[in-house]
Structure 1
């Protein structure tokens, strides 16, 4: 009988890289304000506001507007994700250590969760760490695929 791990998609280098890249496209957190029904979306690359018009803003521009401590954690999570992208890309030349890729994704997810939850602790605001789930799911898939691979394929 096949284990649940055997039913996971095979972790080819291109699939791993694609999955890690997709983590940067998913909103990392959805933030809502009690004064507005329109959410703010925070990504690895920056933010997307929908009020009054759709306004994307890259992460570095936020540092020009404020030195809010959560910005540093947001940048740290993005850096961990970028390093995971680099680690996953090394699989294309057979140099990746899946533990590093998975570990960086776990760190990015944990730091992202702390940002979203800290935002949600502020009055009249809520933060949902959606991206953390994606980062941790890809990390678990990458690590499980590695641990269940035949020894000669590790």
Structure 2
């Protein structure tokens, strides 16, 4: 039981280290992580704080969903940490991760509508896979109530 809780925490933590969205803009890449974004030309990291607090002028409305997803992810991470130090409510963790995924749909659609942009949901798909693999069985899916 403790090993499974630690394994789930490790998976949720790794989701925060993977790029949620990979933007291909011509021959350049931009990687959207929960902590910020990485541009390849020129190579630079912009923290999410800088992006939303310092550089807020002219941001498209769909990009705000990225911030919402990060907040939901942090709730899921805190819930998973609580499972190691005390008790985890897997419903909170799973629903927070699903909420983070749903918030990223707006980001994907917004970027894919722009000419020359291709948004790939790398981490978003990984989050869904983690919820399905690690949390769905905890809800007793597949058991009949008869």
The separation in 1 between residues aligned to 2:35 and 2:138, in whole angstroms, is: 28
The separation in 1 between residues aligned to 2:6 and 2:45, in whole angstroms, is: 29
Question: 2:31 is paired with a residue of what secondary structure?
Answer: strand
The separation in 1 between residues aligned to 2:6 and 2:137, in whole angstroms, is: 14
Distance apart, 1:71 and its partner CA? 3.3
Partner of 1:43: 33
What count of residue pairs does the alignment treat as equivalent? 137
Partner of 1:152: none
Stretches of structure 1 lacking an aligned partner (at least 5 in a row): 1-9, 150-154
Question: 1:12 is paired with a residue of what secondary structure?
Answer: helix
The separation in 1 between residues aligned to 2:99 and 2:136, in whole angstroms, is: 17
Aligned Cα root-mean-square deviation (Å): 1.9
Q: 1:66 aligns with which of 41, 45, 56?
A: 56
TM-score relative to the length of structure 2? 0.85
Partner of 1:111: 103
- Mapped contact 1:112–1:131 kept (Cα < 8 A): no
Question: 2:41 is paired with a residue of what secondary structure?
Answer: coil
The separation in 1 between residues aligned to 2:126 and 2:82, in whole angstroms, is: 21
Question: 2:16 is paired with a residue of what secondary structure?
Answer: helix
Matches within 5 A, 1:48-59: 48-52=38-42, 54-59=43-48
- Mapped contact 1:106–1:135 kept (Cα < 8 A): yes
Question: 2:67 is paired with a residue of what secondary structure?
Answer: helix
Distance apart, 1:11 and its partner CA? 6.7
TM-score relative to the length of structure 1? 0.81
